[in-house]
Amino acid sequence: MDCYKCEVQLTEENASEEHIILNACGGRLKSKGLLCKKCNSDFGDQFDRELAETTNDLANLLIIKRHNGEPQPIRTIHKATGEKYNIEYGGAPVQSKTNYEITVDKDGKGRLSINAKNEKEFKKTLSGLKRKYPDLDIDKILASAKKETLYLSEPLEINGHIGGKGALKSITKAAINYYLHKGGGREYIKHLLPYLEGKVEMDVAWMHYPEVDIYASPQGEVSHVLKLVGNSKEGILYAYVELFNVHCFIIRLNESYTGADIDFDYVFNVHSYEVKENQTNLKLTKSELNNLFVNKNSEPFEKVKERYARVIPIAYRMQDQYQINKIISKAVDKAFGAVPSGAVMTEELMAAMREQVVGGIMSFIAHRRRER
Ligand SMILES: [Zn+2]
């Protein structure tokens, strides 16, 4: 076995374990014996990163569990106030900057209001202010401060983007890796290497949203789809890749294909990790395939919007569950944290915990109801 890019012989040390669908998207299908570590990481730097950025919003909102690392926060601006917010993993918006305001009443009393994303930032801001206003009694302020979770009254807007040269390359690599993983011959994909390496431009991959879905995702499911077809009669080898049921691509791998007739697919449920096969429908002639690359100017925004509209309510449900679990475990930790180890759980402590849980959940639910 050697690396299909640089042809170095693969050993235990230098062989990389390749995520065929990016780890950034929560992909779990792996293959060994395709690329060396160096080439794998070069491809990662050159173009996989762009696809990871393109799909990060969905990975974040859908609470995707990756093999390594968590999805990045989504940066966004609150239109009503112009303030910057980060949507954290799990969907909670957190203001990115701490701000404070000092007002003086008619009777000369000063009022200080600090809006911080967490206690640490709150204390940091207070210490900073102490240098400017030495009279501030930090301990007194902290003792009387009440911590409150505030909810935004207006939703935040996220700007999504699709396509992009690097993203298309990354999709092409996924199709090549899936083909080789399935035992395909390297001679049918070799001509695509200069394209992956950035030496030539090639028209290999493009967005694809046909009228009839290639995979009909059941209600409530979000999945990734890989589809590979080799048709020796038509002389074509092509693939279809769908990420989160939103980003859909067709990949023209070879137009003088003489290999075996193949039809493989892989459908991966991003939440249950269930894998399905023989669930997709795609049959193209050579001219149909090539036509998909002719009228490329019309970008399928309406189709993408429809697909987002199907997936976002699923993300909301996932987030509700995630946030409610978080509220409960926080309240339990807080209640138990107050109990010295070995002490008996009293009725009072139970009541305090109930109050924390119910209070937290009620304000969260009230906010969600207002929002919809
Ligand atoms: Zn290599």
Q: Where are the beta strands (DSSP E) in the chain?
A: 15-19, 30-36, 74-77, 84-87, 93-95, 99-104, 110-115, 205-207, 223-231, 236-243, 247-254, 262-269, 275-276
> pLDDT digits over 69-101, tens only?
899 999 998 888 888 999 999 888 888 888 888
Query: CA of 199: how far to CAs of 126, 194, 204, in Å?
Result: 55, 5, 14
Calculate how far, in angstroms, residue 252's C-alpha sits from the geometric centre of ligand 1: 23
Do the beta carbons of residue 82 and residue 94 sit within 8 Å?
no
CA–CA–CA angle 336, 342, 345 (5° rounding): 50
Instruction: Please report the pLDDT score of residue 372 as a whole number.
Output: 61
Which of 132-136, 169-173, 203-207 bottoms out in mean pLDDT, i.e. has the lowest? 132-136
Tell me: pLDDT of 141 over 90: no
- Give which of 157, 155, 217, 163 is closest to 55, Cα–Cα: 163
Q: How confident is the model over 24-65, as pLDDT tens digits?
A: 999 999 998 899 999 999 998 999 999 999 999 999 999 999
Percent of the chain with pLDDT over 90: 60
Average pLDDT over residues 150-155: 81
Higher model confidence: residue 44 or residue 233?
233
Q: Give the burial class of 127: count Cβ atoms within 10 A of its Cβ; 0-12 exposed, 13-18 middle, 19 or more buried.
A: exposed
- Cα-to-centroid distance, 7 and ligand 1 (Å): 6
Q: How would you label 278-291 residue by residue, b for 16+ Cβ within 10 Å and e otherwise?
A: ebbebebebeebee
- How do 93-95 and 84-87 pair as beta strands? antiparallel
Q: Which of 59, 71, 60, 77 is nearest to 155 (CA)?
A: 77
Q: What is the mean pLDDT of residues 170-189?
A: 97
Residue 371: pLDDT above 70? no
Q: What is the mean pLDDT of residues 164-172?
A: 95
Mean pLDDT score of the chain: 90
Average pLDDT over residues 331-360: 78
CA of 42 from ligand 1 middle (Å) equals 9
Nearest CA to 87 among 328, 323, 309, 367? 323
- For residue 2, with 0-12 CB atoms within 10 Å meaning exposed, 13-18 middle and 19 or more buried, which class applies? middle
Mean pLDDT of 154-166: 82
Whether residue 114 is predicted with pLDDT greater than 90 in this model: the reply is: no
User: Where residue 297 falls among pLDDT bands split at 50, 70, 90?
Assistant: low
38 φ, ψ (degrees, to nearest 5): -65, -45
Distance, CA 33 to ligand 1 centroid (Å)?
10
CA 1 – ligand 1 centroid, Å: 11
> Which DSSP string do the residues of 294-346 spell out, in sequence order?
TS-SS--HHHHHHHHHHHHHHHHHHHHHHHHHHHHHHHHHHHHHTSPTT----
Residues around the ion ligand 1 (C-beta < 5 A) = 3, 5-6, 36, 39
DSSP strand pairing (84-87 vs 74-77):
antiparallel
> What pLDDT is stored for residue 160 in this prediction?
76
- How far does the centroid of ligand 1 lie from the alpha carbon of residue 23, in Å? 20
Please report, for the chain, the start and end positions of each structural domain, with discontinuous segments joined by +. 15-62+160-299, 85-144, 302-371
The structure tokens 């203001």 sit at 95
Centre of ligand 1 from the C-alpha of residue 13, in Å: 12
pLDDT band at 237 (very low <50, low <70, confident <90, very high): very high
| 39 Cα: distance to centroid of ligand 1 (angstroms) | 4
Q: 3-class SS at 140?
A: helix
**CB distance 58 to 290 below 8 Å:** no
Torsion angles phi and psi, residue 95, rounded to 5: -65, 140
Distance 26 CA to ligand 1 centre (A): 24
Residue 46: DSSP 8-state? I
- Residue 285, pLDDT above cutoff 80: yes
pLDDT above 90 (res 318): yes
More confident residue, 298 or 15: 15
In the predicted structure, residue 144 carries a pLDDT above the cut 90: no
Give the 3-state secondary structure of residue 59. Answer: helix
Coil, strand, or helix at residue 114?
A: strand
CA of 229 relative to ligand 1 center, distance in Å: 26
Give me ligand 1 centre to Cα 261, in Å: 29
